[in-house]
Amino acid sequence: MIAPHYGIDVFCIPLSDWLPYGNALTSCLSPTDFSDSKQSVSDQRKFVRALLRMIVGVYTHQEPEEVCLEKDASGKLTVAASPIMPLQVTVSHTDDRALIAVSGYARIGVDIERVVSRRNMGEVAKRVFSDAQNELLTSYHPAKRRRQFYTFWCRKEANAKVFGSGFMSMLQKETTDSKTHYFEIVQPPGYVACVASDHAIHKVDMYAIKPLNNDVRMMYDIERIECEGSHAYEKN
Amino acid sequence: MKKTEKSSEQKLSDCFVDSLGLEAGSITDSLGYNTIPQWDSIGHMALIAEMEKVFDVTLDTDDIISMSTVKKAKEILGKYGVSFNAAKK
């Protein structure tokens, strides 16, 4: 089914589909999950980690809790000791939506954001976006400006995840790293999403993963979906 | 009617309320970045912008990155001359 040797597979997940199965989901977690976290971990993060384990397990033919997830030196989550092939993974979630991306060939980062009005967006834009991006933002009607703000932000955050460069790189104004390639993933209205990679993105396949009954570890459905309008960004 | 100056504690609480849309009662020293949906990466930057306006400071990049809890925010603001000693319950 899925063999992302030269492409990226992106799983688009409405989390509300999985909330009724929270207990079964958390049984997919490993004791090592969040063991380094100094703060409380939200249920949403636990569910997304469990789904990540389930999805990676499909590639590696392992039980979810057997999947070996580690953080590399830069803090980026990786699949260690994959028995099938090297795998890169990245996750993002907001409100009811989660994206999990998997690749066998490149470092990847994904981000999804809900487009909402926030205080101080202008100040944030001036701080983190380039002058050209700010000029573009100010030329737009407020509703379009808001969406574009999040589009730029998604690219920035996805890029930071590719290189494990964290928040530090988010604060640098140069958004478009020459080594980074971006692909916009069309999401339901009110959301924007982007996947980034350190290699040219030849192919992005999108899937939905849905629970079929209470035995979510065994009984779920993965279905290829079309996200019409999804496209690679022009380099700039 | 005499107008009383808000304490630094109250001002910081207002920053969280106004920039993240939180209830004032939910803001405790242990509240941390990424532990609630509102305090995500964009929310963090909106909060920083609010704090800079309210306290008339410009935070260094290292301080922006290390501001992981409300308690840490107070420590960082302390470096910029903002005192939280006079906070009243």
Full DSSP string of B15-67: HHHHHH---GGG--TT-BTTSSTTSSHHHHHHHHHHHHHHHT----HHHHHH-
Residue A100 Cα, gap to closest chain B Cα (Å): 18
pLDDT at residue B89, rounded to an integer:
45
Q: Do A119 and B40 touch (CB under 8 A)?
A: no
Mean per-residue pLDDT, A11-34: 88
**In the predicted structure, residue A231 carries a pLDDT above the cut 80:** no
Q: Name which of A91, A113, A124 to mutate to probe chain B: the one with the most chain B Cβ atoms within 10 A of its Cβ.
A: A124
CA distance A45 to A38: 14
The band of A112, judged by pLDDT with boundaries at 50, 70 and 90, is: very high
Residues A141, A145, A148: CA angle, nearest 5 degrees: 140
CA distance A100 to B47: 28
pTM: 0.88
Q: Do B37 and A127 touch (CB under 8 A)?
A: no
pLDDT at residue A182, rounded to an integer:
92
A214 conformational bin, left if phi > 0, alpha if psi -120 to 50, beta if neither = alpha
Residues of chain B with Cβ-Cβ distance to A110 below 8 Å are: none
**In the predicted structure, residue A232 carries a pLDDT above the cut 90:** no
Higher pLDDT pick, A172 / A157 = A157
Please write the tens of the pLDDT for every residue from A64-110: 999 999 888 877 888 887 766 778 999 999 988 999 999 988 889 99
Please write the tens of the pLDDT for every residue from A210-228: 888 777 776 788 888 887 6
Mean per-residue pLDDT, A37-50: 82
Phi, psi dihedrals of residue A191, rounded to the nearest 5°: -130, 150
CA distance A97 to A16: 8
**In the predicted structure, residue B13 carries a pLDDT above the cut 70:** yes
**In the predicted structure, residue A147 carries a pLDDT above the cut 50:** yes
Please give the structure tokens belonging to residue A157: 């955050």
Residue A2 Cα, gap to closest chain B Cα (Å): 32
Higher pLDDT pick, A43 / A142 = A142
pLDDT at residue A236, rounded to an integer:
43
A1 burial via Cβ count (<10 Å: 0-12, 13-18, 19+): exposed
pLDDT at residue A213, rounded to an integer:
76
Number of H-type helices and E-type strands within chain A: 6, 11
The CA–CA distances, whole Å, from A230 to A100, A148, A150, A206, A235 equal: 16, 15, 16, 10, 16
- Give the residue from A153, A67, A83 showing the smallest Cα distance to A114: A153
Residue B87 Cα, gap to closest chain A Cα (Å): 25
